[in-house]
């Protein structure tokens, strides 16, 4: 520990973001960078805890507490404080294949369980992480490291999102020949098309890492959907093992009157089309546009925020975000103690931008939509809403109960449904004969990842359901380990 009194001397400081009214005019990343001197001070705040909960990576009350991939956080905090950036990068890569991704889009459960956070603001773990890897790229320290020896075994990875990429990277390190199949026109899955460019730059960050994986020997085959234009029989015949990492891409719909109207879309339809337009050089919103429209986003979370930020960049006339849950408290509630994930009110980039442009946070809490109203051409023109309260009904079931007399009608020419995901799409699992759990996910035990087919493994959201990117990395690495054990009889993968 380089600075025993650092947490007493230095306050938590994050780099400034680009101003909201400036950044909504483009699709560039919103965050700026901190100086090396400031980063050293932030690293010095790490307390060298007797038990560093930040990297425990466990579930507490059903939510992540600490880093699911067990990053060696205290070690690289200390190394940054001492100016040993190359050594910090080596520590970071021991547990994390893609720190430039987690350092940008992970919600940082590590900071929620930081021991310093019991009394003072937590260490800026996420910002230090992304600064280490960005420093590594800038100095040319991140270079291809193909395996020195090949095993002669072939592995297919179906899906190129976070879980699939981490599984592929680890299996390639072990010397196996890895082919990643992706049904989209570009690899990356959620990282490519599910997260907007202003949070995770595709050309400067995602494609850079994908190019490095290719140089290390990973093969990507795009525009290929297993079970459709690639028969499952050929997949199983040509490869010694298969890892399913298809994600949980079945969006939750809202089957209320008027759902058939034009202008109502699942969030991922909107976000995917927008990013594809950006990458193809087309006008953002060429397929689904918010330009000049009153937009209603139904649902919260990261996806809802991304819809808000994207709609503002299109030039929407107004934006409202409906949340069925109550507004979280500003500080931890008594039933949400450390080291649980803090369920407190957060103002993310999209809400900050809406407030700057329209004068208020766009979120309306304890509100649900009851029907969509259309015009004579079958285009949505309004959303009917009602407020709710969470309580038990006559049968004793706890849930949202409508409050009579609180009905409202919101103008809307574009409605985006961002209510989460129900699980993986089923056709591929059915074709392969993979058993499902009660939530329709591929049935495979955590830390084992084996399905009922001995040569097929499942990991990430298609196994555990919708979750954090960092949990997908955890599962991809774990599935690679167990797949390597299956192929070789033993494994050296972590």
* pLDDT tens digits for range 322-344: 999 999 999 999 999 999 999 99
Tokens representing residue 223 in the block: 């525009």
Q: Strands 241-244 and 154-158: what pairing?
A: parallel
Q: What is the DSSP string of 303-332?
A: HHHHHHHHHHHHT-SEEEEE-SSPPPPSS-
pLDDT of residue 1: 64
pLDDT of residue 261: 98
Domains 6-138 and 253-419 share a fold: no
First CA to last CA distance, the chain: 26
Distance CA 313, CA 494 (A): 42
SS3 146: coil
Q: Give per-residue burial for 9-45: e unless 16+ CB within 10 Å, then b.
A: ebebeebeebebeebbeebebbbeebeeebbbbbbbb
pLDDT of residue 333: 93
SS3 355: helix
Strands (E), 334-461: 363-364, 367-374, 380-392, 398-402, 408-411, 414-417, 421-423, 456-458
Tokens representing residue 29 in the block: 């990343």
The second-level CATH assignment, the architecture, of 154-249+422-488 is 3-Layer(bba) Sandwich (3.50)
Q: At what angle are helices 267-280 and 301-314 packed, to 10 degrees?
A: 50
pLDDT of residue 48: 82
Instruction: Name the DSSP class of 117.
Output: G
Options 1.10.420.10, 1.10.1060.10, 3.50.50.60, 1.20.1730.10; CATH of 6-138: 1.10.1060.10
Would you mind telling me the total number of residues written for the chain in this entry?
A: 494
- Angle of CA points 115, 120, 121, to nearest 5°: 90
Domain at 253-419, CATH homologous superfamily: FAD/NAD(P)-binding domain (3.50.50.60)
The CA–CA distances, whole Å, from 36 to 90, 134, 293 equal 18, 12, 43
Residue with tokens 């690495």: 477
pLDDT of residue 190: 95
Regions of the chain where pLDDT drops below 50: none
Nearest Cα to Cα of residue 129 among 162, 106, 163? 106
215-266 residue pLDDT tens: 999 999 999 999 999 999 999 999 999 999 999 999 999 999 999 999 999 9
pLDDT of residue 97: 97
8 A C-beta contact, residue 3 and residue 116:
no
Map out the domains of the chain as residue ranges: 6-138, 154-249+422-488, 253-419
Quickly list H helices, 82-194: 85-95, 99-105, 109-112, 125-138, 162-173
């Amino acid at each position: 520990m380089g600075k025993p009194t650092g947490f007493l001397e230095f306050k938590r400081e994050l780099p400034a973001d680009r101003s909201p009214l400036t950044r909504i005019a483009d699709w560039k990343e919103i965050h700026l960078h901190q100086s090396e001197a400031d980063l050293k001070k932030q690293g010095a705040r790490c307390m060298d805890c007797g038990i560093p909960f930040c990297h425990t990576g466990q579930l507490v009350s059903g939510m992540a507490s600490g880093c699911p991939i067990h990053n060696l956080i205290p070690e690289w905090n200390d190394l940054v404080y001492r100016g040993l950036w190359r050594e910090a990068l080596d520590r970071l890569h021991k547990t994390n294949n893609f720190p430039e991704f987690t350092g940008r889009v992970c919600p940082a459960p590590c900071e929620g369980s930081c021991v310093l956070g019991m009394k003072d603001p937590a260490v800026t773990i996420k910002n230090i992480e992304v600064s280490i890897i960005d420093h590594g790229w800038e100095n040319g320290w991140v270079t291809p490291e193909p395996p020195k020896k090949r095993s002669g075994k072939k592995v297919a990875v179906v899906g190129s999102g976070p879980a699939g990429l981490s599984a592929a990277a680890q299996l390639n390190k072990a010397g196996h020949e890895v082919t990643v199949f992706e049904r989209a026109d570009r690899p990356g899955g959620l990282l490519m098309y599910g997260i907007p460019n202003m949070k995770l730059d595709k050309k400067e960050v995602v494609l850079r890492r994908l190019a490095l994986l290719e140089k290390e020997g990973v093969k990507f085959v795009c525009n290929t959907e297993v079970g459709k234009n690639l028969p499952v029989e050929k997949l199983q015949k040509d490869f010694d093992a298969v890892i399913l990492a298809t994600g949980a891409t079945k969006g939750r719909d809202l089957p209320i009157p008027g759902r058939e109207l034009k202008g109502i879309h699942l969030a991922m339809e909107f976000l995917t089309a927008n990013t594809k337009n950006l990458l193809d050089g087309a006008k953002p919103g060429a397929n689904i546009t918010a330009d000049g429209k009153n937009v209603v986003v139904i649902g919260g979370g990261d996806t809802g925020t991304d819809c808000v930020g994207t709609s503002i960049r299109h030039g929407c006339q107004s934006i409202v975000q409906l949340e069925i849950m109550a507004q979280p408290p500003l500080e931890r509630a008594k039933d949400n103690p450390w080291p649980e994930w803090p369920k407190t009110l957060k103002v993310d980039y999209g809400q900050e931008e809406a407030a700057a442009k329209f004068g208020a946070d766009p979120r309306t809490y304890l509100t649900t939509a009851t029907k969509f109203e259309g015009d004579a051409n079958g285009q949505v023109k309004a959303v009917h809403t009602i407020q709710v309260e969470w309580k038990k009904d006559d049968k004793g079931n706890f849930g949202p109960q409508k409050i009579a007399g609180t009905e409202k009608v919101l103008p809307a020419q574009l409605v985006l449904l961002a209510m989460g995901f129900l699980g993986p799409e089923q056709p591929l699992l059915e074709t392969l004969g993979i058993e499902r759990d009660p939530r329709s996910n591929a049935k495979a035990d955590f830390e084992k990842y084996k399905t009922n087919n001995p040569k097929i493994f499942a990991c990430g959201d298609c196994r555990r359901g919708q979750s954090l990117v960092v949990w997908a990395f955890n599962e991809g690495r774990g599935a690679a380990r167990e797949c390597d054990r299956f192929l070789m009889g033993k494994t050296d993968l972590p």
